[in-house]
A and B are shown apart, each in its own frame.
Chain A
């Protein structure tokens, strides 16, 4: 595997996770529990879609076959997506969304912190720019974890269940394959075990503040690296891709 091939895949992993989480967050538009939260979640959706655009555009440039960001977003099939299994989990209730976003944002926060010094200039610039956004996403979701966890008896029970149920999708975030080996050697990517150690610390700190129990590591799903997904991604893509597939000549 060449460095370029590895880098294209690496961009898709980051870009697809941003895109799918952005699409999920956009589903909250007009459905937020209060007006302010509706706007916050829609803002977060736009941040993620913006991040996806940069990475998908870069993947297209590296590939050199003329594929645009839209081609990547709207003309790929389920088995060509490299997003995390976590990012495609359904929104559920507000607490489910908060738990999912917190776990994914903590990951992005530490990933982008590390990639800010990547030897690939484009990755480094993207990471530095996105870090400011995900810092806010992490703060937003973490504050909600604390408020729901240390809130009423009902909110505590609900968000604890959210964490318990989604936990088995967190292992997928940190898996590595040949792509990582090639890029780590070049100083472009970061070893996921380093991210995992920092992610663990952030997650533990917030769960302690929230008076919640960290779920025990048990069976973990995997799939991200091989573009294998849960049953939810297909439905998400069907909705997201409907318009450009039904009207291929439609312009923004």
Chain B
């Protein structure tokens, strides 16, 4: 008589079968390359007949010392992308949360504005970013008199006035810089926020209206419901959005570090590329672990 498997064992096996495509892909295209990258970063790789058609020699830390000590381009790019991230993440998350709260209200034309705010997902990815660094047209736009009303020339003057105003108000310099940079950088911020806006709208919609009703019955104001209901309820999504924005900032194709690694891969300088990739990944993972550990304590989980 055939042995009948228990339901639990059956479930386990179906779990393996459903996840099999990714499991195979992950072994071959993620785990194996990851281990190889770590190994390669300690070697010097030349065309040859060894493993996968290359020869490996000169084991040691020479790749790492080359990219961190001897040359400065990679180091500078890493620090630049770190500072950019430190500035971008809070601005993007706060902006996205604000836009999502506005788009979550009921008013005419909401659908239109929603689709416009998600549009950057499409029009500011990959090739378009590369192609839009469109030297000539944008320079005509900003310097030519005929565009001065809407061109960036006018925008710079406005932010200048704004900046002196803020400085006169004795606001700390770094805050002034932050505000002025965000204003002149608005198109970048809008395009980076698109996914976070979707995440936040989803979160705000999933809060049950009965919680708000109950609090209004008890006499709470809108201000109070925002701080005591909306914010805690979407706080897990703030964590998600922070993590997504960090990863997006570090791994975006217009990130300088990624461009450098990519160039090295195309030049078949696999050893240097691996060393760069490994150092960069370690930095990303360290930052994500720290952010997660800190924010996870603040996040409110409704269970």
Q: Do A and B come from one complex?
A: no
B residues with a Cβ closer than 8 A to A are none
A residues with a Cβ closer than 8 A to B are none
